[in-house]
Structure 1
Amino acid sequence: MEATLIDERFLSKLRWRCRRGLLENDLFIERFFNRHAESLTEFQAEGLRVLMDLSDNDLLDLLLRRKEPEGELVRADVQEVLSLLRTVT
């Protein structure tokens, strides 16, 4: 299956949707967009959308590896994006 890249308009809306209340989350998300905005696929965008539905504290727990995804978060798209968000280098 070919990965479909998102267009500039969708990327702009996604960036807006990803703004968070906790600076720590924003730093992870900003780094993610700086590295992956040009190559972001629809699959990854859906995983990111699911993560953005979480509360700030739950999201931060996942980003800092205090918790691992469970329940409806155990999905390939969420796991892939979470791995990219957690990557330091």
Structure 2
Amino acid sequence: MTEIHNKARIRWACRRGMLELDVLFMPFVDEAFDSLSVQQQAVLQRLLEADDPDLFAWFMGHQECKDPELKQMVQLILDRVRV
């Protein structure tokens, strides 16, 4: 799969059922996806496979993600949004 198709698929997966998640994921993918390493892109894809309630809890700080790679990606997205 080409990089463009992969980005399009990731972008589609960013469309969640919760507006709070959409406003985090969509700008991040639009602005930062191309600068991520292949490994980080794979972690982002894995993060997007998580359920919305878990994602919401992790991003809002209500719960800590147990997976260190996913936790790091959550923090990367949050740091990017705060800038």
What residue is the counterpart of 2:21 in the other structure? 25
State, as a whole percentage, how many aligned pairs show the same letter.
25
Structure (1/2) with the larger helix percentage: 2
Give yes or no for contact 1:32–1:84 (8 Å, CA) kept in 2.
Answer: no
- Structure 1 moving runs of 4+ over 6 Å: none
- Of residues 46, 64, 68, the one that matches 1:75 is 68
Flag structure 1 segments of 5+ consecutive residues without an equivalent.
1-5
Equivalent pairs, count: 80
The two structures have a TM-score, normalised by structure 2, of 0.80
Map residues 1-89 of structure 1 onto 2, 5 A cutoff: 7-70=3-66, 74-76=67-69, 78-87=70-79, 88-89=82-83
Tell me how far apart the structure 2 counterparts of residues 37 and 46 of structure 1 sit (CA, whole Å).
Answer: 11
Offset, 1:58: 1.0
Tell me how far apart the structure 2 counterparts of residues 38 and 53 of structure 1 sit (CA, whole Å).
Answer: 20
RMSD (Å) for aligned C-alpha atoms: 1.8
Offset, 1:61: 0.8
Give yes or no for contact 1:22–1:56 (8 Å, CA) kept in 2.
Answer: yes
Flag structure 2 segments of 5+ consecutive residues without an equivalent.
none
The two structures have a TM-score, normalised by structure 1, of 0.75
Offset, 1:14: 1.1
